[in-house]
């Protein structure tokens, strides 16, 4: 017996020594705890539409610091009942919880429950990486003991509630409360508190903004846990579950305008440089118009995709001065973030012809100048018309309206391909252009935003523009960081030439290939179809709005005989009708508020004047 006790004592001593060595080894490598209350985070960037409504947030949202005493009791109770029911009785490690979790995991044959206390989770969240290693777990235990010695239980719980990640870039219960319910944490209802406590298990999967059903089911589990823990009676639980989750309408937009937001976000560093403060970015986006267009495009393609073998669509709507009012970069942002309105370069076909005709007009020709539609051959290349027929002599106005290929090529050769390229550059088209004979027929790649911007120059009377979406950048805490000033490059097309181009492009819609785009107001535009029906375009404008439409397939497979005058023209007509309707309603609203409206300026002119005015 004495020998046994001797060996037991010896093993005990060696066990203490080994544990001491391990503890010393891992404690030596512990992270610095002096900055326990500091949190590194990405600055929060909030994007708002032109009317001030919120579109999207990115970065890490951090709410106001809260203390346990500042919150309703049921907020902390919901967390404790679900995450660490013996929080106030253990000293950093819950032995009972560890044993229970171990037993359930053995029974399930996999990890289904963790035994970490709130103190351990604070240690991990503040100081350690999420790596599942013995070293990290051991350091977590050491830090949990340290936290229990340094802080009171209420302080540890406050640190936890202020720092824990709760999905959608939110850190802390106050930021989550504001993000998901639009209220500070001190105003949370019992059920709202339960939903947020439920997020601790899986912040992304149980996010109420993206999976409300799952969030509610998890919230009900938390309510049940509160009953078991003695924090709620069954009657109180039933009353909590019958309450409303959302007390009012949320201004947050679910996914609308995401292609636009990505486009703007890429530009931010160029404006503000590296900085760590939260900012609010005011954009030109018309959220109402954007939502209508996205809904229309989705439904339209569902009805026509299979019949016409068309899977993608891109749309740009802007004011004549370049403000982007709506942007559709594809059919479904969740499936593909590639922005076909700004990143893709597709052959514009005949939608490029107005640039050729403008060059000819500026070279001395007129809409009434005569050219002959007849066979033409340039070093063995012989362009054909769409119907493979020739119609003889006709005016430039008629040739553009009917989209005659041979005359467009003859015009390009007459004025010089170099001059055509210079005109394109002046209008803002920066895509590579090759001075080949087929230049006049749009056989090179160009982006939708560039080509739509070129048409906008004609819409505003000949002033050069840069398509833009940023209006202001302000610090969330107050103070202006950037405000757009200036209004383009000035007059780059003479008014008389603009008038002549409008005459010809108006005829395209009145009697030519763009008849399906007719509106109830004067409108001007041009169809475009690339070789093999791989791209369909319609770009046009009124005095107030400019819009461009492209449809096709990402793999450039042919559509089922879709030309610019069919589906693209019909889509253009619909989105222009929506844009003009919104513009008219906004104008009437301005008049009712007795705001001055200058008679010689359009609705968008007045809006631009306000945006561009000095502070």
Q: How far is CA 360 from CA 212, 264, 432, 547, in A?
A: 59, 36, 21, 24
d(CA 565, CA 516): 7
Contact in structure between 201 and 88 (CB atoms under 8 Å): no
Between 190-199 and 234-241, two packed helices, what is the crossing angle to 10 degrees?
Answer: 80
Q: Determine the average pLDDT of the residues in 535-553.
A: 97
Phi-psi region of 9 (alpha: psi -120 to 50; beta: other; left: phi over 0): alpha
* Least reliable range by pLDDT among 70-74, 144-148, 175-179: 144-148
d(CA 327, CA 452): 12
Whether the per-residue pLDDT at 591 is higher than 90: the answer is no
Strands 535-541 and 524-529: antiparallel
A 10 A CB-CB count for 584 gives 12
d(CA 533, CA 527): 13
Strands 392-395 and 370-373: antiparallel
Residue whose token pair is 């999967």: 205
d(CA 565, CA 526): 9
Mean pLDDT, the chain, as a whole number?
Answer: 83
Report pLDDT for 111: 46
Contact in structure between 245 and 192 (CB atoms under 8 Å): yes
Q: Determine the average pLDDT of the residues in 52-67.
A: 80
Residue whose token pair is 């398509």: 467
**Who contacts 578 (Cβ-Cβ below 8 Å, separation ≥6)?**
289, 292, 293, 296
Please name every residue paired with 373 in a beta bridge, in sequence order, or none if there are none: 392
* Least reliable range by pLDDT among 122-136, 254-268, 406-420: 122-136
Q: Determine the average pLDDT of the residues in 238-250.
A: 75
Whether the per-residue pLDDT at 58 is higher than 90: the answer is no
Q: Terminal CA-to-CA distance of the chain, rounded, Å?
A: 92
Residue whose token pair is 């502070």: 615
| DSSP-assigned letter for residue 324 | E
A 10 A CB-CB count for 466 gives 13
d(CA 184, CA 75): 12
Between 212-228 and 190-199, two packed helices, what is the crossing angle to 10 degrees?
Answer: 110
Torsion angle of C-alpha atoms 315, 320, 323, 329, degrees rounded to 10:
10
Strands of 359-469, DSSP E: 370-373, 392-395, 463-464
Tokens coding 329: 């970069």
Whether the per-residue pLDDT at 606 is higher than 80: the answer is no
Report pLDDT for 60: 64
3-state SS, 429-449, equals CCCCCCCCHHHHHCCCCECHH
d(CA 186, CA 166): 17
Please name every residue paired with 536 in a beta bridge, in sequence order, or none if there are none: 529, 551
Tokens coding 571: 């889509």
Contact in structure between 587 and 607 (CB atoms under 8 Å): no
Tokens coding 160: 């936890």
Show the domains of the chain with their CATH numbers: 59-241 (1.10.3810.10), 289-612 (3.40.710.10)
Report pLDDT for 141: 66
A 10 A CB-CB count for 152 gives 10
Band of residue 247 on the pLDDT scale cut at 50, 70, 90? low
**Who contacts 388 (Cβ-Cβ below 8 Å, separation ≥6)?**
none
Which of 348, 305, 340, 309 lies closest to 537 in space, CA to CA? 348
Between 190-199 and 73-83, two packed helices, what is the crossing angle to 10 degrees?
Answer: 40
| DSSP-assigned letter for residue 44 | P
SS3 163: helix
Q: Determine the average pLDDT of the residues in 52-72.
A: 83
| DSSP-assigned letter for residue 527 | E
Tokens coding 305: 């995709």
The residues assigned a catalytic role are 83, 350
Report pLDDT for 590: 55
Contact in structure between 579 and 547 (CB atoms under 8 Å): yes
Band of residue 78 on the pLDDT scale cut at 50, 70, 90? very high
Q: pLDDT by residue (tens digit) across 387-438?
A: 899 999 999 999 999 999 999 999 999 999 999 999 999 999 999 999 999 9
Q: How far is CA 418 from CA 432, 434, 453, 492, 508, in A?
A: 13, 9, 21, 18, 26
* Least reliable range by pLDDT among 116-120, 178-182, 271-275: 271-275
HSE-CB of 279 using CA atoms within 13 angstroms: 21
Instruction: Calculate Rg over the CA atoms of the chain.
Output: 33
d(CA 215, CA 196): 8
Angle at 151 between CA 145 and CA 156, to 5 degrees: 85
Q: pLDDT by residue (tens digit) across 152-176?
A: 888 888 888 888 888 877 888 988 9
**Which helix (H) or strand (E) covers residue 283, if one does?**
strand 279-283
């Amino acid at each position: 017996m004495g020998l046994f006790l001797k060996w037991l004592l010896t093993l005990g001593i060696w066990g203490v020594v080994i544990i001491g060595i391990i503890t010393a080894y891992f404690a030596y490598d512990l992270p610095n705890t002096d900055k326990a209350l500091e949190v590194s985070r990405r600055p929060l960037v909030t994007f708002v539409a032109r009317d001030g409504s919120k579109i999207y947030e990115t970065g890490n949202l951090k709410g106001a610091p809260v203390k346990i005493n500042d919150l309703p009791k049921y907020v902390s109770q919901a967390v404790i009942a679900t995450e660490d029911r013996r929080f106030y009785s253990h000293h950093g490690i819950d032995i009972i919880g560890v044993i229970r979790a171990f037993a359930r995991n053995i029974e399930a044959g996999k990890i289904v429950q963790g035994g970490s206390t709130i103190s351990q989770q604070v240690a991990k969240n503040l100081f350690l990486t999420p790596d599942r290693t013995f070293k990290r777990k051991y350091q977590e235990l050491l830090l949990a003991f340290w936290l229990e010695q340094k802080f009171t239980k209420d302080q540890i719980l406050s640190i936890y509630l202020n720092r824990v990640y709760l999905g959608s870039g939110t850190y802390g219960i106050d930021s989550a409360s504001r993000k998901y319910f639009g209220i500070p944490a001190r105003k949370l209802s019992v059920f709202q508190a339960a939903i947020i406590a439920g997020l601790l298990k899986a912040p992304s999967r149980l996010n109420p903004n993206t999976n409300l059903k799952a969030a509610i089911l998890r919230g009900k589990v938390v309510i049940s846990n509160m009953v078991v823990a003695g924090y709620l009676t069954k009657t109180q639980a039933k009353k909590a579950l019958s309450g409303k989750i959302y007390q009012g309408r949320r201004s947050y937009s679910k996914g609308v305008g995401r292609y636009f937001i990505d486009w703007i976000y890429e530009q931010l560093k160029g404006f503000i440089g590296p900085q760590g403060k939260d900012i609010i970015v005011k954009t030109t986006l018309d959220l109402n118009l954007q939502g209508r267009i996205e809904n229309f495009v989705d439904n339209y393609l569902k009805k026509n995709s299979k019949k016409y073998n068309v899977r993608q669509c891109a749309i740009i709507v802007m004011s004549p001065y370049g403000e982007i009012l709506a942007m559709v970069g594809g059919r479904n942002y969740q499936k593909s973030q590639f922005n076909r309105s700004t990143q893709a370069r597709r052959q514009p076909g005949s939608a490029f012809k107005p640039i050729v005709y403008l060059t000819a007009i500026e070279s001395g020709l007129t809409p009434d100048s005569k050219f002959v539609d007849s066979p033409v051959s340039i070093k063995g290349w012989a362009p054909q018309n769409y119907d493979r027929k020739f119609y003889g002599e006709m005016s430039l106005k008629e040739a553009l309206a009917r989209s005659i290929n041979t005359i467009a090529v003859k015009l390009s050769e007459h004025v010089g391909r170099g001059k055509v390229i210079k005109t394109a550059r002046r209008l803002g088209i920066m895509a590579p252009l090759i001075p080949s004979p087929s230049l006049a027929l749009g056989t090179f790649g160009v982006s939708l935003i560039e080509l739509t911007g070129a048409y906008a120059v004609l819409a505003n009377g000949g002033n050069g523009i840069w398509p833009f979406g940023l209006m202001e950048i302000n610090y969330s805490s107050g103070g202006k960081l950037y405000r757009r000033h200036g209004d383009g490059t000035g007059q780059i097309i003479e008014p008389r030439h603009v008038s002549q181009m409008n005459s010809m492009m108006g005829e395209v819609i009145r009697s030519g290939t763009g008849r399906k785009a007719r509106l109830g107001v004067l409108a001007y535009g041009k169809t475009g179809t690339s070789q093999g029906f791989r791209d369909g375009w319609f770009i046009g404008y009124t005095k107030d709005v400019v819009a461009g439409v492209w449809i096709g397939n990402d793999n450039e497979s042919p559509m089922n005989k879709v030309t610019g005058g069919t589906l693209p023209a019909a889509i253009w007509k619909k989105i222009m009708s929506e844009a003009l309707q919104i513009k008219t309603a906004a104008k009437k609203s301005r008049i009712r508020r007795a705001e001055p409206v200058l008679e010689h300026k359009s609705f968008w002119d007045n809006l631009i004047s306000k945006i561009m005015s000095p502070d």
